[in-house]
A and B are shown apart, each in its own frame.
Chain A
Amino acid sequence: MESSIADKDIIRCVVESAEPWLAPDGKRLSVINLKTAASIANSQGISAKEVEITALKQGIIPRRYLRNIGTIGLDGQIKLLQTIVAVVGAGGLGGTIIELLARQGVGHLIIIDNDCFTERDLNRQIMSTEENLGEYKVTVAAKRVGEINSAITVTTFRERLTRENAQRLFGSAQVVADGLDNLPSRLAVEQACRQLTIPYVYASIAGFGGQLMTIFPEDEGLSSIYGSSNAIPEQGIEIKIGNPPATPAIIAALQVQEVVKIITGVGKPARNQILLVDARECAIDRIELRR
């Protein structure tokens, strides 16, 4: 399709504003900085995200993504900026997932959580501070995303996810990342993702360990480890051994890598396998799952 005159104007502005950049490996790149992108967005009446996408399509890298491009390429960054990811839960896992997805440059985040921060969260929930105790997690998370990357669109839902509302909350999300703390809610997420035919990055933690699995709609998913009977536990060993601060950071980081792999097509998602991380023993095990 031919670009409109307005599109050509935006492209011209972006190209004319680009600056040369000598990469550490000696490669000559063109980049655009935050202030310039914001100024073009303002003058052209478009979003900063649209400016960034336009720049990347011209081979011009927003400086903020310079360290992303080597692993995912220009196309990968464009795909991320054009993608909607839902994060269910904005606590231990969810807070770090949101933080990293914002830095990675996922274009639209849907954040779902009905809780407020309490003192019990301070040890591990990256977005909780002494100052914001009592505030809704989604409110704090949206503010944080805006501070990290103002080009990102954020939609928040101050609701508890259920089987009944999950599909509505996910809306047009293309991937869902798990920041939950109980199994019934995870099963509701899995069911909704199957119905919406989108992938679900499951993870959970306890003590120094955690587990992770990426579930596509056609995969066996959670029943492959918990079984298909109704006698499944609501909570696990974490009620005995707790959740120290490093564990959610480790597991959430792996979840973010899964989301990035799914969206960009780079690498191989952890499908039909359970990844068991045990920081206590410096061990990562992978069990291939079968039907």
Chain B
Amino acid sequence: MSKHHVSTTINGEPVEFLCETQHSLLDALRDELQLTGSKEGCSSGDCGACSVIVDGRLVCSCLMLAVEAEGRQVDTIEGLAHGDRLHPLQQRFLEAAALQCGFCTPGLLVAAKALLDRNPQPTETEARYWLAGNLCRCTGYDKVIRAVLAAATDVQEGARKA
């Protein structure tokens, strides 16, 4: 079985990789590209630990075939910070203690980024429903939601200052 050659863009950088037909984007990210920040929690699109943004849309990378990344823009947790400058979401997660084990954290951050891209000032209810696809078993979501809402304000203020 010959492998497929895929040309794509990941976190703004052109990337090429080889994959088998049945491989998910998550398999390619983790096993071929060593981008292990995206996590596999269920492989059925229920837990959101593998969340990535593809052409501006939030997707579970376990539900997308690797070959489908051809010509797309894929954003993963590894691209959220700019060098040593953390994204406001990351900073607020740290300050609010919005993580315990940290396994669901990359997926939650990517999903929250997709939320703020679309809805810069979500209400608590909007944030809760948007993040309902990202399971966290440790935190009870309280501090996660607080961090996301605080980061939304930071992003707004950052945009105003710019």
- Does A pair with B? no
Identify the A interface with B (CB < 8 A). Answer: none
